[in-house]
Amino acid sequence: MLLPAVLLALVFNYLPFAGLAIAFQDFKPWKGLFDNTWVGFDNFSEMFSRPDALQVILNTLVISGLKIVFGLIVPFVFALFLNEVLSRGLQRFIQTLVFLPYFISWVILGGIMIDILSPSGGLLNNALGVFGLKPIFFLGDNNWFQPMLIVTHLWKEFGYSTVIFLAALMGISPQLYEAAEVDGANRVQQVWHITIPGLLAITIVVGVLALSNILNAGFDQIFNLYNPMVYQSGDVIDTFVYRVGLLSGNFGLGTAVGLFKSLVSMILIIGAYKLADRFAHYRIF
């Protein structure tokens, strides 16, 4: 039964792995994968020898780490509360509405956010002004930029991720609730002892799988919102690779960075897999 997937993966995923050789080359496209000049780890050192390398990697980790954590918590909690809505019609209605922002591309959303967050007449600052607060330059202030990235990302994506938790909720057997009721458990206790444990497994799975993106902080979003004012807090691996690529189409560096990201993800995934196995006795895959 595994055969078709294995064969297709071999052709379309494993075969291209040969291209990882580019990471160790001064790659000229026309020379083919194996006839280029080998440069060892030059492409990697180019990335790490930048004076701002640490800052860029740290930004990436913080932004994407927070996105993963809140990207789990928010849909999880939202699904729990949505589950408590008694009217099925209203439930579906809300579920559909929160799904909408997923379809707006960042090219459009970027412009809207710049307007909403503007320190001169933006919606948010006008609202803050009612409370006598001074306007804040949200997208030009290193203290605010990362939180803004997280919040706007969550707003756009949480409706989509909620679907997984809703599906898992459906998988919890009703008999468990019936039995709990017989034992005299109230609603809160039922949620605490049945619903949440029932969702735990899938939460761990989604969380661990999300680690494969730990060094992808969300290029489209950041690219459309960042600016020189917030390079300190907003420049991430992908934006820097993009700027390098724009300048010189440097394939070697791009591939090296990709490989580095994969390695970090792989190590984290293996670690998380072992932890889940040992402490939760749950084999994710």
Partner 1 sequence: MKRNLFRGVLLALGLLWAGASATAQTPVFKDGKYNPPLTLTFEIVQGAGTKFKPGEDYNNNVMSRWALENFGIKFQVAWTAPTGEALTNKLRLMLASGEAFPDVMRVNDVNVTKDLIESKKAKDITDEFNKYATPRLKEIYTKYPEALYQVKKNGRMYGLPVLTSGNVSDELMWIRQDWLDKVGMKAPTTIAELEKVMDAFMTKDPGGNGKGKTLGVSIGAKNALATWMSSTGFLIGSFGGVMAHDNGWGLAADGKTLAYKAIQPEMKKVLAKLNEWKNKGYIDPQFALMDESKASESFVQGKSGIIFGPPWMIEWPFGDLKKLNPDAQPKPFPVPAGADGSRGRFGEGMTQGTTIFSPDFKGVEGYLKMLDRWYGSHVAYGDAEFQYGMFEGYDYQMVDGKPVIDSTNFIDPSMYFPGLENYPSIAFIEYNIYEYLWQGGKPRNLAEKTLLAKTAPEKLQGGAIINSQNKYNMPNLFSGAPTATMSKKGEYLRKLEQDTFAQIIYGSKPVAYFDEFVKQWKANGGDAVTKEANDWYKSVSAK
Partner 2 sequence: MTRYKSPQHRIFCYVNNTLLVLLAVLCLVPMIHILAVSLSSKAAANANLVGLWPVDFTLDSYLKTIGNRNFVDAMITSFLRTGLGTVLGMLLVCLAAYPLSKENKSFRQRGFYSWFFIITMVFSGGLIPSYIVVQKLGLINSLWALILPGIVNTWLIILMMNFFKTIPKELEESAHMDGADPFTVLGRIYLPLALPSVATIALFMMVGHWNSWFDGLIYINDAKGYPLSTLLQTIIVQQDFTKITPDAATMENLSQRAVKASQIFIGAAPILLVYPFLQRYFVKGIVIGAVKE
Binding residues vs partner 1 (CB under 8 A): 28-32, 46, 50-52, 111, 114, 118-121, 137, 139-140, 225-229, 231-232, 235, 240, 243-244, 247-250
What is the Cα–Cα distance from 101 to 159, expressed in whole angstroms? 8
Per residue in 58-79, is it b (16+ CB within 10 Å) or e — as a string? ebbbbbbebbbeebbebbbebb
One-letter identity of residue 212: S
Of 49 and 175, nearer to partner 1 (C-beta) is 49
**Which of 78, 138, 145, 226 is the binder for partner 2 (CB under 8 A)?**
78
Task: Decide: is 130 part of the binding site for partner 2 (CB under 8 A).
Answer: no
Q: Closer to partner 1 at the Cβ: 125 or 195?
A: 125
Q: Which of partner 1, partner 2, none does residue 274 bind (CB under 5 to 8 Å by kind)?
A: none
Span from 37-45, 61-69, 139-147, 251-259 in contact with partner 2 (CB under 8 A): 251-259
CB 260 within 8 A of CB 44: yes
From the list 10-18, 44-52, 130-138, 228-236, the region that binds partner 2 by CB under 8 A is 10-18
171, 202, 161, 211: which is closest to 284 by C-alpha?
202
149: DSSP letter? H
Q: Binds 40, which of partner 1, partner 2, none (CB < 5 to 8 A, cut-off by type)?
A: none
Site for partner 2 in 151-190 (CB under 8 A): 155, 159-160, 163-164, 166-175, 181, 187
C-alpha 42: how far from chain center? 29
93 touches partner 2 (CB under 8 A): yes
Site string for partner 2, 211-250 (x = CB under 8 A): -x---------------------------------x----
Q: Let me know how long the chain is.
A: 285
Crossing angle for the helix pair 123-130 and 106-116, to the nearest 10 degrees: 30
Residue indicated by tokens 């992908």: 238
225 binds, among partner 1, partner 2, none (CB under 5 to 8 A by kind): partner 1
Report what 250 binds from partner 2, partner 1, none; CB cut-off 5-8 Å by kind. Answer: partner 1
The residues pairing with 25 across neighbouring beta strands, listed in sequence order, are 38
* CA atoms of 275 and 284, how far apart (whole Å): 10
Residue 56 backbone phi and psi in degrees, to 5: -65, -45
**Which C-beta is closer to partner 2: that of 68 or that of 98?**
98
